[in-house]
Chains A and B, each alone.
Chain A
């Protein structure tokens, strides 16, 4: 059974930093691209960052570019999101999810999701 377990969510002051982790099990982690999607309280879904299966290709939304960094450790089956210079508008539940890429295309339909980690940015 595919399992994704986020951790690291917390209350942090504006300007602070936090690192989220997403521990994967039940599938061959190194075969899948991964993504972070967030949801502010009572709001819709916002794509944050994506990373290829080998970690060489990354994408970040304009809203987090230069502040957030996605990375992965395939030896530990874990995805990360380093979040710096946090703002109140970054307050959200952060989900990790899987998607699949071939050598020619990526299929960004997110089949498997974690339960989410709450990040609250407030003084």
Chain B
């Protein structure tokens, strides 16, 4: 199976901050990387697909980049509703795997 890691596991930030989360795959997955946001008690919400494509309805302050094994999710100018946990997911293999998550909380 393809293993996914994320860093950091958690971070504290303030409204208006720029936040960057990194995801790494154990082998090359081309551009087959998706990002999700999850709030407590809710289902995950797709933010970015195929590494850098913004899902319909997702604010443009979210962006993704990367290819191969290294990927980044960036949130420009953090809004109050962005405090949540973020997961990366590789969709290169039929046997999908998720990263362990990055919790973004209020400083």
Contacts and interface: CB of A to CB of B under 8 A. Distances in A.
Nearest to A47: B96
Contacts of A110: 34, 36, 44, 46, 89
Contacts of A113: 43-45
A47 B46 contact: no
A50 B44 contact: no
- The dominant DSSP class at the B interface is loop
A44 B101 contact: yes
A46 B43 CA distance: 13
Interface residues of B, number: 23
Given A44-B100, A44-B101, A45-B87, A111 B46 contact: yes
- The dominant DSSP class at the A interface is strand
Interface residues of A, number: 22
Contacts of B97: 47
A44 B45 CA distance: 14
Contact of A44 (B1, B34, B50, B99): B99
A29 interface: no
Given A107-B49, A109-B50, A110-B46, A44 B96 contact: no
Contacts of A50: 94, 96
A95 B98 contact: no
Contacts of B22: none
B83 to A, nearest CB: 17
Interface string B25-47: 00000001010101000011110
A67 interface: no
Contacts of B49: 107, 109
Query: Which of B32, B46, B50 has the most CB atoms of chain A within a 10 A radius of its CB?
Result: B46
B55 interface: yes
B44 A44 contact: no
B43 A95 contact: yes
Query: Which of B55, B89, B100 has the most CB atoms of chain A within a 10 A radius of its CB?
Result: B89
A62 to B, nearest CB: 8
Interface of A: 35, 37, 44-47, 50, 59, 61-62, 95, 97, 106-111, 113-116
